Structure 1
Amino acid sequence: MTIEQIYTGCLAQGAYYITSNGEAVIIDPLRETQPYIARLEKDKVKLKYILETHFHADFVSGHVDLAKATGAAIVYGPNAKPEFEFISAKDGQEFKVGDVTIKVLHTPGHTMESTTYLLKDENGKDHCIFSGDTLFLGDVGRPDLAQKAAHMTQEELAGLLYESLTTKIMPLADDVIVYPAHGAGSACGKNMMKETVDTLGNQKRVNYALNQPNKEAFIKAVTEGLTPPPAYFGLNVAMNKQGYESFETVLNNGMRALTPDEFEAAAENTEALVLDTRSNNEFYKGFIPQSVNIGLSGDFAPWVGSMIVDVKQPLLLVTDPGLEEEAVTRLSRVGFDNILGHLKGGFAAWLAAGKEADVVDRITAEQFAKEANLETEKVIDVRKESEYSAEHVENAYNRPLAYINDWIKDINPEEHFYIHCAGGYRSMIAASILQARGYRNFTEIEGGFKSISETTIPKTDFVCQSKVMKA
């Protein structure tokens, strides 16, 4: 028996590849299936099952394409009703894979179909659980995502999650290994550890959710502090239920190379958004007017999903030459399939063709410290509230990037302000959106708070809850 965790950092997502005596099972696969198929061929094993822990909200799974390519059966737990052929497993049902057994533990709460898979080794001993979004390391799955589908409140779902954990998972032995679907950085939980594998015994000791004295305390603990989920989550759930266009088709469309003239015509004659995936350190120096910058080197896919609400939005890509396929692949993982093509030769080709370009007004942290008057000039900090609360520039306003569509209306276009995040990634996203919507009255700070903290500019960890930004 072999178990391999295939962890994708930009999504904070873990897929699992298990083999035993010539057979294999894959749990929660990513959208692109060729790496799995190549691995199966290399190991000379037959894929018997594709196990899905639930209908994922934060990424599009590769289950449909993988089943078509291999003939493997897709398995969901109770209550799942996808629009394609699958096995509806019953609670307690067992599946043989080579010499090991995988037992279905129905664990509703995060979603109604959420299922944990318990793997028993060749000797029948409980070896590990693949807990999906039911149990994370340091946390449990958020109970607010399935409210509409389940016709239940988040408190009712949290109560179900409590019952699932206490009756199905907590009774298992301490030496059982926990393999979760996500780690730190995922929006599917709020308190995940950076580690991606642990023992159940350690989780019983350190996981706040597993250490609540009763059901009522558990419900309160897991529902406190939940931020609104990204808008694309519901659309990804629908794709995972209904099926989707093949990844190869999406990739072929995205790999369509457009000359600067063709690219410009496509941008003018369609409703496409120009998405520039270069680093913020390159983007600010020059970019196609009205384009939005979300750098491929950061948490690219989740931020695309948060900033571009509709997964069907047509996209035109600007990338560093050679990174076109990676950009398309990572977009497809969160359901952004409507990619019309990319700029052949990248932004350098655009400039060489004599096309119009724009820039962002950026200064260093040292310049900011010298010229800014914190008593009279506004500073907008687009980091998360928790980052801001820990320490921030004195008198700065906290306006998290995730809510830019809410606070952008409060910006006075006649009044200058400074904008920053932690290191420049998020503030450049904000800067590009602001300029695309006609705001040019700001200066972005290079290096963000990390660089600002090294200057003498006044900082504080005091949060004034009544501080309001007025237009």
Structure 2
Amino acid sequence: MNIKQFEYKPLAHFSYAIVSEGKMAVIDPERNPEQYYVFAKANNAEIVAVIETHPHADFVSSHLEIHKKTGATIYNSEKLGADYPHEYFDEGDSIPLGNITLKAINTPGHSPDSITIIATEGNKTVLFTGDTLFIGDVGRPDLREKAGNMKAKREELAEMMYETITSKFTNLPEDAVVYPAHGAGSLCGKNLSDAASSTLGNERMGNWAFKKQSKEEFIDTILDDQPFIPHYFGYDVDMNKTGAEDLKSSIEKVPFAENTTADGLIVDMRNEATFKKGHLKGSINIQAVSENAKFETWLGSIVKPKDAFTLVIDDKKNKDTLLHRVAKIGYEKLLKKVITISLENLFTSEKLDLADFKNNPDNYTIVDIRNTSEVEEGKFFDSAISHPLNELRDTADKIPTNKPIVVHCAGGYRSAAGSSILQKKMTGVTVYDLSDDVAQFKN
């Protein structure tokens, strides 16, 4: 059984290719399908199947594009209600793939339409669990109250997950390999392991969801302290249900201009030092200066699907890379244009007098933009007021403006975005970014 795991680190997403006897299936593919074509060619394989374990909330899938290019059949649960050409793949159904048999079991809980794929060859069993079973956790049940063809309340889905975990994996072998769709850093669960795979036996021993507990205890645990839900999650569920436009043709529609200006909502992806030295008025600084930066997550948490925006990039040579990143969550559809800016008539950000802040913290309004769960674990400043970054554009008007404002997060990345949001929203008050100097105030 030849299995390849592909990882997209900024979204902590795993997708898979499985090959046997010259036939290949792709499972939960990301937006850019090129890597699957390369793997198929390297293995002299034909892509004959694309399987979606559910309509994903946190990334846009390329299942429809792969189907159109290769003729591969798309398989998913009948409960998904997909609007693209597909065949149902539910409990009792199977797909032959060379010497491998792929079977489906319906495993609702993260979503009503979730399936787990069981691949068997001889005495070897592999489970592709999507967002149902993670390493160390299970998928969150609170994402489908407002999105998707089949809506369900979180309590209903939590109960479904309990039934899934207590009944659907019971007759599968201990040595079955577990391959999830996400790892640590994903917002599709709350306590995901750094591990990229496990065995069902190990999960039965170490995953909290498999421990002996009542249904009520299970539901209380799974509903407690789930991460925030980014604005883009429902948008991506709906896009994946319909099937996204081909990546290349979609990003080619976005205009590009050099050394120009813009108005309206502007996202500037440059590093914070460069941004603070000069940026277009009202820009929001969501940094994408490293391959692993959580640019996509924060873009989709700050910018809403109804918002049209301009993207400021650092250099023309990086345009395609940045467009690909925006397209990972389908936001190229919101882009008015991509631009570089000239160095004239730019606005600068004020630099905080760190010594004065240390000596006179009461002279400042301190805004903590970390997630609610982080704040509950402990504050860095007793007087800080909590305004999570994903809500900040909507809650900024509740922040007092009678003192200079200092924005902080846990490490500096998010506060660059948070301080720029407040600089855009507020007049008559100076907003400072504590940035990575926050490390000096941690206990």
Normalising by the residue count of structure 2, what TM-score does the alignment of the two structures yield? Answer: 0.92
2:138 to 134, 137, 140: 140
Task: Report how far residue 396 of structure 1 moved.
Answer: 2.4
1:434 to 422, 430, 436: 422
Task: Report how far residue 380 of structure 1 moved.
Answer: 1.6
User: Counterparts of 2:156 and 2:258 in 1: how far apart (Å)?
Assistant: 54
User: Counterparts of 1:103 and 1:311 in 2: how far apart (Å)?
Assistant: 39
- Aligned residues of 1:118 and 1:126 also touching (Cα < 8 A): no
Taking a change above 3 Å as real, the CA distance of residues 52 and 24 of structure 1, as seen in their structure-2 partners, is same
Task: Report how far residue 414 of structure 1 moved.
Answer: 3.5
SS of structure 2 residue aligned to 1:322: helix
User: Counterparts of 1:22 and 1:151 in 2: how far apart (Å)?
Assistant: 39
- Aligned residues of 2:116 and 2:129 also touching (Cα < 8 A): yes
User: Counterparts of 2:72 and 2:356 in 1: how far apart (Å)?
Assistant: 58
User: Counterparts of 1:212 and 1:126 in 2: how far apart (Å)?
Assistant: 27
Deviations 1:55-85, CA, capped at 9 Å, x for gaps: 1111110101111111101000231211111
Deviations 1:86-134, CA, capped at 9 Å, x for gaps: 011231211111111111111112111100001102x1x2421110011
Task: Report how far residue 379 of structure 1 moved.
Answer: 1.7
User: Counterparts of 1:147 and 1:126 in 2: how far apart (Å)?
Assistant: 37
User: Counterparts of 1:27 and 1:425 in 2: how far apart (Å)?
Assistant: 32
User: Counterparts of 1:227 and 1:400 in 2: how far apart (Å)?
Assistant: 11
Task: Report how far residue 32 of structure 1 moved.
Answer: 1.2
User: Counterparts of 2:34 and 2:307 in 1: how far apart (Å)?
Assistant: 24
Within 5 Å, which residues of 2 pair with 1:196-235? 196-235=196-235
Structure 2 partner of 1:33: 33
2:129 partner amino acid: S
- Aligned residues of 1:362 and 1:446 also touching (Cα < 8 A): no
Within 5 Å, which residues of 2 pair with 1:230-245? 230-245=230-245
SS of structure 2 residue aligned to 1:392: coil
Alignment pair present for 1:257 and 2:256: yes
- Aligned residues of 1:312 and 1:337 also touching (Cα < 8 A): no
Taking a change above 3 Å as real, the CA distance of residues 437 and 369 of structure 1, as seen in their structure-2 partners, is closer
Taking a change above 3 Å as real, the CA distance of residues 369 and 414 of structure 1, as seen in their structure-2 partners, is closer
Task: Report how far residue 312 of structure 1 moved.
Answer: 5.9
Moved more, 319-328 or 184-193: 319-328
Alignment pair present for 1:281 and 2:273: yes
2:337 partner amino acid: G
User: Counterparts of 1:281 and 1:174 in 2: how far apart (Å)?
Assistant: 51
Taking a change above 3 Å as real, the CA distance of residues 11 and 151 of structure 1, as seen in their structure-2 partners, is closer
Structure 2 partner of 1:462: none
- Aligned residues of 1:423 and 1:451 also touching (Cα < 8 A): no
SS of structure 1 residue aligned to 2:311: strand
2:360 partner amino acid: N
- Aligned residues of 1:381 and 1:396 also touching (Cα < 8 A): yes
User: Counterparts of 1:397 and 1:314 in 2: how far apart (Å)?
Assistant: 29
User: Counterparts of 2:307 and 2:32 in 1: how far apart (Å)?
Assistant: 19
User: Counterparts of 1:253 and 1:150 in 2: how far apart (Å)?
Assistant: 32
Structure 1 partner of 2:74: 74
- Aligned residues of 2:165 and 2:209 also touching (Cα < 8 A): no
- Aligned residues of 2:83 and 2:243 also touching (Cα < 8 A): yes
- Aligned residues of 1:420 and 1:427 also touching (Cα < 8 A): yes
Alignment pair present for 1:325 and 2:325: no
Taking a change above 3 Å as real, the CA distance of residues 258 and 228 of structure 1, as seen in their structure-2 partners, is same
- Aligned residues of 1:294 and 1:429 also touching (Cα < 8 A): yes
- Aligned residues of 2:55 and 2:241 also touching (Cα < 8 A): yes
Alignment pair present for 1:420 and 2:408: yes
Within 5 Å, which residues of 2 pair with 1:26-105? 26-105=26-105
User: Counterparts of 1:151 and 1:67 in 2: how far apart (Å)?
Assistant: 27
User: Counterparts of 2:18 and 2:440 in 1: how far apart (Å)?
Assistant: 45
2:365 partner amino acid: K
Structure 2 partner of 1:444: 433
Unaligned runs of 5+ in 1: 454-458, 460-471
Alignment pair present for 1:362 and 2:316: no
User: Counterparts of 2:364 and 2:309 in 1: how far apart (Å)?
Assistant: 38
Taking a change above 3 Å as real, the CA distance of residues 120 and 9 of structure 1, as seen in their structure-2 partners, is same
User: Counterparts of 1:274 and 1:45 in 2: how far apart (Å)?
Assistant: 44
- Aligned residues of 1:232 and 1:311 also touching (Cα < 8 A): no
Task: Report how far residue 154 of structure 1 moved.
Answer: 1.4
CA-based RMSD:
2.0
Aligned pair count?
435
SS of structure 2 residue aligned to 1:380: strand
